[in-house]
């Protein structure tokens, strides 16, 4: 029997176990795991750095020039009608009182070919208030803005019409999240679930789910536009007006329609009585939803474009397109149904008519950014070359470093 035992014996055994365990965790003695692989460490010298700057300048310069040229092929016209409803109202279409649109409220950016011999008459607009004759007009056209503008040259297809908003922050964190994807895909959602989800505070109303719920759907842009009418075209009788038609098909991204269902009935809800429209849709659905007017979100491409939120507070969204016909030179008329308020948040709204080129719409910024980068690279390369030729420094010379003096 062992009556006495040295105090350090147990500790010695445990320390040996720890050493053995530590040995198990040791990486294998290989070049990769012990970080003994050969490595190439380039040394930056004037002979390697300066040619790199010259090469980047030579590459970026032509790319920027090509992008600027592609943007110059696009013609774009913008007409701001924000203040139209502040004009003296007219009582009927036959007695419209037109006012010049201020020069700061419209712009023409024409392609080089369209700008030749272009003669532009100042656009005008008139405010038509039909509120007194509400029975003769639908709710979206009780207040109208009639705009006349010039197209100074023929615009070859495709021609696009956009609406443009400023100071509207669709990129706000709470706004971007304010929708329920499951509800839009036809999985329904109770009033309590929507109220406790991302749609809050527009998840339900009067104890019923809002369809579609959320801030994005509730703030849907609802100004309406008629197709432009060419006034007194040259190749028709003087009393004849010709309509240039914009289609609302194929204006949304491919696959957008898959995010929505054609009706909530049978797709999460039993009947139209189970859901209510958003509060701001009251004009469109004054008596709520019925079997005849339930919105088909899978086919409403204007709605789909609006639900794809913009990243900047100034943005344009496609409203219509014409891929077959040339928009002929002449004076055009568009009637706008005024429904979307922008002055409360100090914003503006405009119509944009544009063509496209191989780079898309009018956007010279990217091209000029490439040109500016090329100029900067060239400036650095020339300055560095001059410095190297005038006062070269021997490779490895540390005498110029203050800490080595």
Distance CA 178, CA 191 (A): 15
Distance CA 90, CA 83 (A): 15
Distance CA 58, CA 240 (A): 55
User: Which among 104, 140, 105, 101 is positioned nearest to 122, based on CA atoms?
Assistant: 101
Predicted local confidence at residue 129, as pLDDT: 86
Instruction: Give 28-38 pLDDT, tens digit per residue.
Output: 888 888 888 88
Burial 260-284 (b: 16+ CB within 10 A, else e): bbbbbbeebbeebebbbbbebbeeb
Task: Answer left, alpha or beta for residue 250, where phi above 0 means left and psi between -120 and 50 means alpha.
Answer: left
Mean pLDDT, rounded, for 326-333: 92
What DSSP letter does each residue of 268-290 carry, written as one string? TBSSGGG-B--GGGTTT-TT---
Instruction: Give 271-328 pLDDT, tens digit per residue.
Output: 999 999 999 998 889 889 998 889 999 999 999 999 999 999 999 999 999 999 999 9
Burial 82-114 (b: 16+ CB within 10 A, else e): bbbbebebbeeeeebeeeebeeebbebbbbeeb
Between residues 238 and 75, the one the model is more confident about? 75
Distance CA 224, CA 339 (A): 8
Environment class of 48 (CB within 10 Å of its CB; exposed 0-12, middle 13-18, buried 19+): exposed
Give the number of C-alpha atoms closer than 13 A to the C-alpha of residue 196, restricted to the C-beta side.
Answer: 5
Q: What is the pTM of this model?
A: 0.80
Distance CA 353, CA 186 (A): 36
Residue position matching structure tokens 């079997």:
291
Cα 169 to its chain centre, rounded Å, is: 11
Q: Are the C-beta atoms of 319 and 352 separated by less than 8 Å?
A: no
For the cut 70, the answer to whether the pLDDT of residue 137 exceeds it is no
Mean pLDDT, rounded, for 89-102: 88
Instruction: Give 360-385 pLDDT, tens digit per residue.
Output: 888 889 999 999 999 999 999 999 99
When pLDDT is cut at 50, 70 and 90, the band that residue 20 belongs to is low
Predicted local confidence at residue 113, as pLDDT: 79
When pLDDT is cut at 50, 70 and 90, the band that residue 396 belongs to is low
Mean pLDDT of the chain: 87
Distance CA 313, CA 325 (A): 33
For the cut 50, the answer to whether the pLDDT of residue 136 exceeds it is yes
Predicted local confidence at residue 239, as pLDDT: 56
Predicted local confidence at residue 392, as pLDDT: 82
CA Rg value for the chain: 33
Task: Tell me which of 68-82, 321-335, 386-400 is least confident.
Answer: 386-400
């Amino acid at each position: 029997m062992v009556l006495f035992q040295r105090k350090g014996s147990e500790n010695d055994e445990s320390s040996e176990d720890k050493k053995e365990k530590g040995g198990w965790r040791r990486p294998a003695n290989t070049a990769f795991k012990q970080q003994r692989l050969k490595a190439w460490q380039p040394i930056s010298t004037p002979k390697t750095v300066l040619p790199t700057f010259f090469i980047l300048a030579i590459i970026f310069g032509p790319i920027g020039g090509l992008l600027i040229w592609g943007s110059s092929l696009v013609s774009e016209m913008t007409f701001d009608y924000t203040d139209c409803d502040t004009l003296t109202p007219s009582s009927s279409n036959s007695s419209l009182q037109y006012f010049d649109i201020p020069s700061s409220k419209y712009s023409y950016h024409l392609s080089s070919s369209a700008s030749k011999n272009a003669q532009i008459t100042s656009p005008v607009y008139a405010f038509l208030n039909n509120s007194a004759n509400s029975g003769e007009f639908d709710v979206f056209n009780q207040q109208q803005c009639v705009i006349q503008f010039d197209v100074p040259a023929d615009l070859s297809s495709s021609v696009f019409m956009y609406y443009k908003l400023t100071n509207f922050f669709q990129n706000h964190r709470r706004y971007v999240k304010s929708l329920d994807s499951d509800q839009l895909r036809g999985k329904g959602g109770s009033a309590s679930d929507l109220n406790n989800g991302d749609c809050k505070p527009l998840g339900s109303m009067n104890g019923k789910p809002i369809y579609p719920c959320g801030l994005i759907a509730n703030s849907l842009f609802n100004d309406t536009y008629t197709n432009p009418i060419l006034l007194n075209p040259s190749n028709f009788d003087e009393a004849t007006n010709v309509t240039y038609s914009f289609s609302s098909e194929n204006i949304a991204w491919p696959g957008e329609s898959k995010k929505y269902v054609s009706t909530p009935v049978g797709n999460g809800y039993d009947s139209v009585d189970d859901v209510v429209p958003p509060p701001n849709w009251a004009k469109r659905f004054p008596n709520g939803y019925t079997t005849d007017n339930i919105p088909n979100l899978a086919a409403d491409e204007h709605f789909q474009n609006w639900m794809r939120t913009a990243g900047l507070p100034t943005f344009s969204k496609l409203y219509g397109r014409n891929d077959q016909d040339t928009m002929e030179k002449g004076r055009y008329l568009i009637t706008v149904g005024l429904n979307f308020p922008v002055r409360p948040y100090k914003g503006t709204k405009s119509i944009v008519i544009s063509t496209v080129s191989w780079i898309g719409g009018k956007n010279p910024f990217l091209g000029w950014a490439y040109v500016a980068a090329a100029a900067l690279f060239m400036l650095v390369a020339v300055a560095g070359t001059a410095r190297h030729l005038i006062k070269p420094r021997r490779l490895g010379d540390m005498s110029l470093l203050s800490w080595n003096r």
